[in-house]
Amino acid sequence: MDALNVLLDGAEIPASDDGAVESFLMSKLQSKDSYDAYFTSLPLQGSIVEDIAEVQAQLSVLERELRSELVQNKEEVCDSLSNQDIELQLDLILEQIDQLWELENPELPAAEAPDVFASLQMPSNERASKGMDEFQVALQKLKQQARDETGRNSDTKRDNLGLVLTNWNALNELLELPTLASTCIKTGHYQEALLCHSHARSLVYKFPAVSIIRHIADAISHEVRTTMLQGLVKMLQQNISANPMKKILTYLLSIPPFDTNPQALLQVFLTMRYKFVCAEMDSFSITELANETMGELLVKRKIEAFREHVFNAISILQIQSEAFNLKSYEEASISIPLLGEPRKAIHTNPLILMFVETCCDALIASLRSHQSFLSVSVCLQLVYCSFRLADSNSNYHHLFINKIREAELFSSDELIAAMDKRRELANKYY
């Protein structure tokens, strides 16, 4: 049956007569003077909405009758489900619960152990009169025993079950500190891990006689000194920018043994950055198949890697000079001549100077095997790198130029010409 037959149901109009069908539908659709009935929430008489409401009302009445029958015959229902008297089932459950409530002190003999639940066997009518069930009665007895034992002997306060139950949430949070610190370390939230560590140490100072607090603090300290310390030290050998590097050094300065010995961290930092600089320079390997242009380009890439990472390491140490106490190592002035010409002595940190020297040796050793690619532009690139080191300390510049001359990569005249060219370009463009 199509839609037209539904609309014409009951009307004596042939469906094939289009004009008659159209006039019939127009008359029916325009026969209403008001359409307010379409916008009311009340169901129309004989509609499907009214039928649904009546069925739901009947279901509600039947549900109430069923609930009333179940409540009136609850004992018979329980007996039929358990196949025996419900009182026997309740007594069995109570007996099983009593077996779990063993509160005897293991340090006391069995004869001297207090019978905490001796008074629980009160008549059921007495418990009903007080409005308490078995669990509430047991809880009251626990609280009463906690008060009695606290008043008798102060040494048993730590082992008091009542106090443990009262402060269970705080104790649970305290016991979760080692796991929380370990999770923070593994997810990279080092600041939060240090907060957990400092909080645990403060609790040890506040409660020195509590062994569980010492165990918690030791567990957190072990995670910080092993997992966190090793992970942060390994990150010093990675290609990261200055700001993350500063954060890593700040975290390490808060971890033993670096918190009391920052000079040890300085040596570790310089060693790890030296390994990183060498790895970066070795990444630009020059093969036998490389032509002159490609070989010269790779040599310049090695020099650029040296310049960038060595200067960044020196800059980070100079920014955090107070944390590393670098001024205590700069009391003595050091004078390094430039190509045989004496220079004025200036304050220089010997550890950083040694770092620059070892990095220079690594660069020169990498360039010595490719002297065929060392052109005038490469010499100028080395001079640019040396002047960049001079921005931190002129002794680094003098040491770098002297190392190049001693290795005979370039002559003194070539180096002087390159330095003059660099100064000429600097005066022209700056």
34-88 pLDDT, tens digit per residue, is: 555 545 555 556 667 677 878 888 888 888 888 888 788 877 767 666 666 666 6
Give 312's pLDDT tier (boundaries 50, 70, 90).
very high
Q: Which helix (H) or strand (E) segment is 334 a member of?
A: strand 333-334
Q: How far apart are CA 383 and CA 409, in angstroms?
A: 12
Q: Letter for the amino acid at 361?
A: D
* Span 169-212, pLDDT tens digits: 888 888 889 999 999 999 889 999 999 999 999 989 988 888 88
Q: At what angle do helices 262-282 and 350-368 cross, to 10 degrees?
A: 10
Q: Which CA distances in Å does 102 have to 41, 97, 108?
A: 64, 10, 14
Q: Are 142 and 162 in contact (CB under 8 A)?
A: yes
Indicate the pTM of the whole model: 0.59
Give 19's pLDDT tier (boundaries 50, 70, 90).
confident
Buried-state track 180-197, b at ≥16 Cβ within 10 A, e below 16: bbbebbeeeebeebbebb
Average pLDDT, the chain: 78
DSSP state of 52: H
Q: Say which residue the tokens 């670098």 belong to.
A: 326
Q: Letter for the amino acid at 174?
A: L
What percent of the chain shows pLDDT beyond 90?
Answer: 16
Q: How far apart are CA 159 and CA 175, in angstroms?
A: 16
| Burial environment of residue 41 by CB neighbours within 10 A (0 to 12, 13 to 18, 19 or more) | exposed
